[in-house]
Structure 1
Amino acid sequence: MVCFPWYTYLRILYQSAIIIVSITENMNIMKLNKLIYTSLIAVILSVTACKNGFEEINKPWDKDVAAPVEQLYNGLVSTLVLGWQEQVTYHTWIYPITQQAVTTSNSGYVLANAASELWSNYYLALGNFRLLEKRIEESPNKDKYKNLQAMAKTIMAYKTLKVSEFFGAMPYTEAGRAATEGAAAYRAKYDSQADVFKSALAELKWAVDNFSTSADQISIGGYETFLKGDITQWTKFANSLRLRYALTMSAKDAATATPIITEALAKPLLADGENIAIWPKALNLTLDGRRWSFNSGLFHRMGTTMWSYMSSNDNKDGSGIFDPRCKIFFEPNNAGQWAPYPQNPTTATVGEGGLPYDNIRLTSWATKGAGNLYSPLNYYFAQDQTTIPEPIFTAAEIHFLKAEIYTSGIGATKNLTTAKGEYEKGVTASVNFWTKVAMDSPEWVVSKPTALPSAATITALLTNAKVAFDATNEANALKQIYAQMWVDGFRQPWDVWALKRRTGNLTPMTTVNSAYYDSNFGIYHRLVYPSSEADYNSANWRTATGGADLTSTKTWLEK
C-alpha cells in the first residue's frame, strides 16, 4: 500500500527528468523500465534524505545528469509499453465509452489512476528526450546523429499526440527542461491542443525529412530495440503518423492539415504486413500487466454493438458470424454459446457472473464459472504475455485513412472508387493481421486458426450487407470506414475514442436505451489532469482550466 503521494514526487521530477540509467547492450526494455523507476526512487530519497557521502555521485534534482544518448533513447522506447492502470482503464471505462465492449458491473477502478500513470510516464519520457537532444546538440558529431534524433522525435511526437488526445491542452514547449535549463523552468505553461498538434506534426516532418541511409550516420547498435535500426520502416512510421494526426485535426484546422495530408500521401507509408507495435517476443519482454488488467476487473464482455457488426443474427451456436475477427476477439460463454451482453442494459437484464479471466484458465481453459452467461473477451489476450503485440499503428489503418481521404476529398481529389479499394484492402489487412496474431501465439490452442482466411471468406465478408462499401453515398461510406477502423482498433481503444470524438460520434453506437449510455458513459470527453498539477503547477493549471477541470469538457479536437 502506498503511504505517501508518490505522484507528487514524480511531478517534481517530470520537469527535471533525472534518469539514472545503467544498462548493457543485452538489457531488455522491461528491465530498463524497472531500473528507471528504481533509480527515480533513489533520486527522491537523495532529495529528501541525508546527503552524507553522496555529494560526489548524486546530482541535485534540477541539474543535468550524464547519460549516453543510446541509453536515453532506449529509455524513451521503454515508455511505449502500456501501463497497468492504463490497460485496466481501457477495459473498464474506454471499452464501454467506445462501445467496442461492455462492462457488466462496476470494477471500482477510477479514471484518475490511469490519468496519473499516463501523465507521469509522458513527462519522464519528455525529460529524457530533452536530455537526449541536448547531448546531440553538444556533440561535435551532431550531424551524424540525425537518425537517432529523428527516431527520438518520432517516438516523442507520437506520445505527445496520444496524451493530448486524452487531456487536451498540456505543458509541452516549456516542459521537461529543468534539468537542462535550471529550476526556473520547473513550472511550465500549458500549450493549447491546437498548438500541441502543430508542434508535434512539425517534429514528425523534421524526422521524415532527416532520416538518412547515409553510411556516416552513427548507429547505436543493440540499443535500437524498437525497429532494429530499419530506417525505411522508421520513415514510413513517422510519415504514417503525420497522415493519421493531420487527418485527426483536419475538421478543426483544414488550412494546416490539408497540405500535410497531401505531402504524406506522396511519401512512403506503412504497407501490408508492416504493423508497428510493441512485439514482446522481439523485445524479449514479458508484459505482466496483461493478466492483471483482465482479472482485476473481470466484468468486460462482448456487447451487442460489436456483435451486430460481426454476426447477421443472434444464433447462439455462432452460425450467423460472418467476420472472422469475432472468434479471435471473443469467446463463447461457459455453456459454449455466443451471447452478447446488452450494450445499454435495463433492469430486466439478467446479471452476469463467472470467472472467465481467472488464472485457473491457464490450466483449465474450459472453466469460466457457471455464472458466465455472456461472451467474454478472448482470454488468450491475457494469457499470452510474450507474443501477442500491443498495436500502435497497423497497415490496415493506413488503408482506412486513405479511404476516408478519398471519400471526403481532404488533401486529395475525391474518388469513391479509389476509396472503396482502400476500404476493402483495409478490411482484408485487418482480418489477416488478427488471424496471424492468433496463429503465431504459442499459447493459443482452442479455436486457433491454422491459415489465413480464404479468398472466399474475405469476399463473403466484403459483400455482407453490413460491410459492403456504399460508393454511392459519401455519408454512408464514411460511417462504414469508421466502423471498420473501430473493429480493427479493438486493442487500441484509446485511438478509437479519439476517432469517436473527432468524427462527432460517427463510430458505431446503439440507439437502444441510449439514455443509459448518455448518463453513464456519454459524459466522458477527456481525462482530468492529475491532482499534482493543481497542487504544484497551480497557476498554469488554473489558466488552462479556468479552475474547472472536468471530464465533461470537450477538447479542441472534438466535434
Structure 2
Amino acid sequence: MMKIRKYIPIALAGLLFASCGDLEQFNVNDKNISQEQLEVDFQHVGSKYRPIFENIYQYQPAWSYQLQQNLNADVYSGYMTNPRPFVAGANNTTYNLVSGWNNFIWSVPYQNVMNNVQAISDLTSEDFPTLYGVNLILKVAAMHRVTDVFGPIVYTNFGDLNNAGVYDSQQDVYNAFFSELDVAVANLNADISSTRFSEFDMSYAGDYSKWIKLANSLRLRLAVRISKVDPAKAKQEGEKALAESNGLMESNADGFFVNGSLPHPLSVIDNSWGDIRMNASMESILVGYNDPRADKFFQEVNPGDQSTTPVSPGNLKGVRAGLPLLPGYADEIAQKADYITFGVINDEVHTSQVQLMTAAEVAFLKAEAALRGWAGAGDAKANYEQGVDLSFQQHQAGSSSSYLMDNTSIPIDYVDPVNAANNIAAVSTITIAWDEAATNEEKLEKIITQKWIAMFPEGQEAWSEYRRTGYPKIFPVVSNQSGGSIDTNIQIRRIPFVDSEYSTNAANVQTAVTLLGGADNGGTRLWWDTGNGNF
C-alpha cells in the first residue's frame, strides 16, 4: 500500500496548489488545430470516448483501480484479498471502511465518464444518432456499476442545472438504464453498417452489430439483477433482450473488453507491488473442482527469484479475507514455497485488455432466465454447459466435457499455511454436473458458482451477483471491525455515500439515505438485494 501513500498526495498536490495562471498552459492547443478541423473527422466528439472506455474502471494509474475496485469489490466477491497490513489491519477488507479510498469509486466515473457522456450527448443526440447510441451503452455499462455499489445515485439529473445533485432511487436508475438501451439499440439498428465510430472504438472496431449485442446482453444482465425484487419488469426486459433480432453475445469474439497498450492494473498491483493475493474462497472452489482454468488465472511465485510459473490446482494457496494483518504474517507467508500469488491470466492478450463482460456470462444469464421461465431463454442445462465451455475456450483450458460430467467434486476446506486459527471448513457441497432432478435453488447455486469462476477477474459483477443470490458461498471475514453495522455472516452489502458528497451536496445525500431505506453504512441492502436463497 506504500504506492498509494506515495502517489495520491502528489496527484492531489497538483490539483490543490496550481494557480489559475498555472492552469492556463493546459488550455493551449499546441498543435494549432482549429475547431473546424476537429469537426471534419469528428475528433471533437471522438476524442471524448477514450476517457469513458478507460474509466469504467480506471486501469491507469494502477493505484486508482486499486482504490476504485480492487480493495472493495475484488475482495468482497471472494476473488482476491490483501496480504499486507494496510492501515494497521483496519481497512475495507476488515469492514473498517476507509472513506478516502472509497471516494474513488464515486469520483472516477463521475469526473471521467459522466462528464464526457454529457459532452457527447450535447454534440450527437440530434444529428449523429449512432454515435449517441454507443455513448448511451457505455454510460449504462459504467454507471450500473456505481449504483450497484451505493444504491441511489445522481443520474437522470446529471447536467441539469435546475436539479443539480439530486439523487434517483435505484429503481428509477434501473428504469432509466432500460430506456437508454431502447434508444441505443434503435439508433444503431437504423444505420448498422455505418463505420463512423471505428476510429474511436476501443472494443469492437466500429462494428455496430456487436454494440447491439452488448446492449442486449447488458439488458439481460440488469433484468436478471432485478428478478427477485421486480419479477414482472425483469421478465419484460429480459424477454426483450432475448427476442432482439441481432441477438446477444454468443461467441468469445463478442465479449466486451477495453483494448489498450497498458499492463492490466492487476499485474502491477500484484506482480510489482505484492498488494493483492488469491482469496481462500477461490482456492476452496478451484482446488475442490480440480479446475483446469486455475493455472490460467494464477501463477506461482518462487520466493528466491520471484519468477512465475503456472501451477496445478492442488498447489494453489489463498489467503482468508479480513485478516487483521500484522507485518510478521505478511513476511512469513511470503516465504512459504506453497504460497501462490494472484496473477493476471496467462495469456499475453490479456495484459492489455480489461474484461468487462463475456459470452460465458451471457450463457449463464440465459440459464437462469430459463429457470425463471422467460420466453426465448432456451434450455437451462444447455445454457449452463455452454457457459462453462465458452469459459474454457476463452482461457484455452482444453475440453470441458469431463469437467461437466463431474458429479462428485466439491469445494474443499481451507487450511491457513501460517496460522491454524484461520482454518475454516468448506461452506458449500455443490457439485459441477447438471442435475435435472435438483431444486431450482440448487440449480441456481450451480449456475452462479460457475458464472463466478467464468467472470474472473471482474470482481464488481461477481460481488453484485453474490449479494443478489448468496452464491457462490464464500468464507466470511476473519476480523469484522465495522462496529456492528455489518453482519459477519451476511457480509458487506454496499459502500456508504462518499465524503465529497456529504461536504458539497449534503441535503441531497440526506434525501438519498431516505431513498436507500436504511442507515448509510455497509450493512444496508440495496433495492435489488432482497436476501439470499428463495429462488
Q: TM-score, normalised by structure 1?
A: 0.71
CA offsets 1:291-331 (integer angstroms, 9 cap, x no match): 4422576354334432332234xxxxxxxx62111122223
Offset at residue 270 of structure 1 (A): 0.4
> SS where residue 49 of structure 2 aligns?
helix
Offset at residue 370 of structure 1 (A): 2.8
Which one of 353, 375, 382 corresponds to residue 421 of structure 1?
382
Q: Does 1:331 align with 2:319?
A: no
Query: Residues 341 and 375 of structure 1 are in contact (CA less than 8 Å); yes or no, is this contact kept in structure 2?
Result: yes
> SS where residue 211 of structure 1 aligns?
helix
> SS where residue 73 of structure 2 aligns?
helix
Query: Residues 404 and 481 of structure 1 are in contact (CA less than 8 Å); yes or no, is this contact kept in structure 2?
Result: yes
Query: Residues 85 and 293 of structure 1 are in contact (CA less than 8 Å); yes or no, is this contact kept in structure 2?
Result: yes
Which one of 464, 467, 475 corresponds to residue 498 of structure 1?
464
Match of 1:63 in 2: none
Q: Does 1:406 align with 2:366?
A: no
Alignment of 1:268-417 (within 5 A): 268-280=247-259, 283=260, 285-287=261-263, 289-294=265-270, 298=274, 300-312=276-288, 322-332=290-300, 334=302, 338-341=315-318, 343=320, 352-353=329-330, 370-371=335-336, 373-378=338-343, 387-409=351-373, 411-412=374-375
Q: Does 1:192 align with 2:158?
A: no
Match of 1:118 in 2: 105
Q: Does 1:486 align with 2:452?
A: yes
Q: Does 1:88 align with 2:66?
A: yes
> SS where residue 342 of structure 2 aligns?
coil
Alignment of 1:239-250 (within 5 A): 239-250=216-227
**CA separation of 1:544 and 1:296: change in aligned 2, threshold 3 A:** farther
> SS where residue 453 of structure 1 aligns?
coil
- Give me the whole-angstrom Cα distance separating, in 1, the residues matched to 2:406 and 2:393: 13
> SS where residue 182 of structure 2 aligns?
helix
Offset at residue 237 of structure 1 (A): 0.5
Alignment of 1:11-160 (within 5 A): 48=20, 68-83=44-59, 84-85=62-63, 87-89=65-67, 90-108=69-87, 111-124=98-111, 125-137=113-125, 142=127, 145-160=128-143
Query: Residues 168 and 555 of structure 1 are in contact (CA less than 8 Å); yes or no, is this contact kept in structure 2?
Result: yes
Q: Structure 2 stretches of 5 or more lacking a match?
A: 1-6, 30-38, 93-97, 304-310, 411-430, 531-535
- Give me the whole-angstrom Cα distance separating, in 1, the residues matched to 2:353 and 2:154: 30
Which one of 486, 494, 501 corresponds to residue 526 of structure 1?
494
Which one of 195, 212, 222 corresponds to residue 189 of structure 2?
212
Offset at residue 238 of structure 1 (A): 0.5
Alignment of 1:454-469 (within 5 A): 454=399, 457-459=402-404, 466-469=431-434
- What is the RMSD computed on CA atoms of the aligned residues? 4.1
Match of 2:529 in 1: 558
Offset at residue 543 of structure 1 (A): 1.6
- Give me the whole-angstrom Cα distance separating, in 1, the residues matched to 2:474 and 2:25: 62
Which one of 518, 535, 538 corresponds to residue 503 of structure 2?
535
**CA separation of 1:454 and 1:488: change in aligned 2, threshold 3 A:** closer
Query: Residues 287 and 316 of structure 2 are in contact (CA less than 8 Å); yes or no, is this contact kept in structure 1?
Result: no
> SS where residue 179 of structure 2 aligns?
helix
Offset at residue 151 of structure 1 (A): 0.4
Offset at residue 380 of structure 1 (A): 6.0
- Give me the whole-angstrom Cα distance separating, in 2, the residues matched to 1:203 and 1:45: 39
- Give me the whole-angstrom Cα distance separating, in 2, the residues matched to 1:515 and 1:372: 29
- Give me the whole-angstrom Cα distance separating, in 1, the residues matched to 2:48 and 2:222: 26
Offset at residue 128 of structure 1 (A): 1.7
- Give me the whole-angstrom Cα distance separating, in 1, the residues matched to 2:366 and 2:105: 30
> SS where residue 310 of structure 1 aligns?
helix
CA offsets 1:64-104 (integer angstroms, 9 cap, x no match): xx982222333433323534345425444434422234444
Which one of 160, 170, 174 corresponds to residue 153 of structure 2?
170
Partner letter of residue 309 of structure 1? I
Match of 1:266 in 2: 243
Offset at residue 457 of structure 1 (A): 4.7
**CA separation of 1:272 and 1:54: change in aligned 2, threshold 3 A:** closer
Query: Residues 257 and 354 of structure 2 are in contact (CA less than 8 Å); yes or no, is this contact kept in structure 1?
Result: yes
Partner letter of residue 468 of structure 1? A
Q: Does 1:507 align with 2:494?
A: no
- Give me the whole-angstrom Cα distance separating, in 2, the residues matched to 1:218 and 1:307: 45
Offset at residue 269 of structure 1 (A): 0.3
**CA separation of 1:87 and 1:295: change in aligned 2, threshold 3 A:** farther
Query: Residues 264 and 351 of structure 2 are in contact (CA less than 8 Å); yes or no, is this contact kept in structure 1?
Result: no
Partner letter of residue 322 of structure 1? N
Partner letter of residue 457 of structure 2? R
Query: Residues 352 and 372 of structure 1 are in contact (CA less than 8 Å); yes or no, is this contact kept in structure 2?
Result: no
Offset at residue 54 of structure 1 (A): 11
CA offsets 1:436-468 (integer angstroms, 9 cap, x no match): xxxxxxxxxxxxxxxx51365555558856211
Query: Residues 293 and 392 of structure 2 are in contact (CA less than 8 Å); yes or no, is this contact kept in structure 1?
Result: yes
Query: Residues 97 and 497 of structure 1 are in contact (CA less than 8 Å); yes or no, is this contact kept in structure 2?
Result: yes
Partner letter of residue 133 of structure 1? S
Query: Residues 323 and 479 of structure 2 are in contact (CA less than 8 Å); yes or no, is this contact kept in structure 1?
Result: no
- Give me the whole-angstrom Cα distance separating, in 1, the residues matched to 2:322 and 2:522: 23
> SS where residue 278 of structure 1 aligns?
strand
**CA separation of 1:454 and 1:250: change in aligned 2, threshold 3 A:** closer
Query: Residues 85 and 114 of structure 1 are in contact (CA less than 8 Å); yes or no, is this contact kept in structure 2?
Result: no
> How many residues align structurally?
463
**CA separation of 1:377 and 1:407: change in aligned 2, threshold 3 A:** same
Match of 2:417 in 1: none
**CA separation of 1:218 and 1:512: change in aligned 2, threshold 3 A:** closer
Q: Does 1:475 align with 2:444?
A: no
> SS where residue 355 of structure 2 aligns?
strand
Instruction: Please say which of residues 518-527 and 491-500 is displaced more in the overlay.
Output: 518-527
Q: TM-score, normalised by structure 2?
A: 0.74
Match of 1:236 in 2: 213
- Give me the whole-angstrom Cα distance separating, in 2, the residues matched to 1:69 and 1:52: 23
Partner letter of residue 123 of structure 1? Y
Partner letter of residue 139 of structure 2? M
> SS where residue 356 of structure 2 aligns?
strand
- Give me the whole-angstrom Cα distance separating, in 2, the residues matched to 1:463 and 1:355: 35
**CA separation of 1:236 and 1:379: change in aligned 2, threshold 3 A:** closer
Which one of 229, 237, 242 corresponds to residue 252 of structure 1?
229
Query: Residues 405 and 432 of structure 2 are in contact (CA less than 8 Å); yes or no, is this contact kept in structure 1?
Result: no
**CA separation of 1:54 and 1:555: change in aligned 2, threshold 3 A:** closer
- Give me the whole-angstrom Cα distance separating, in 2, the residues matched to 1:224 and 1:489: 23
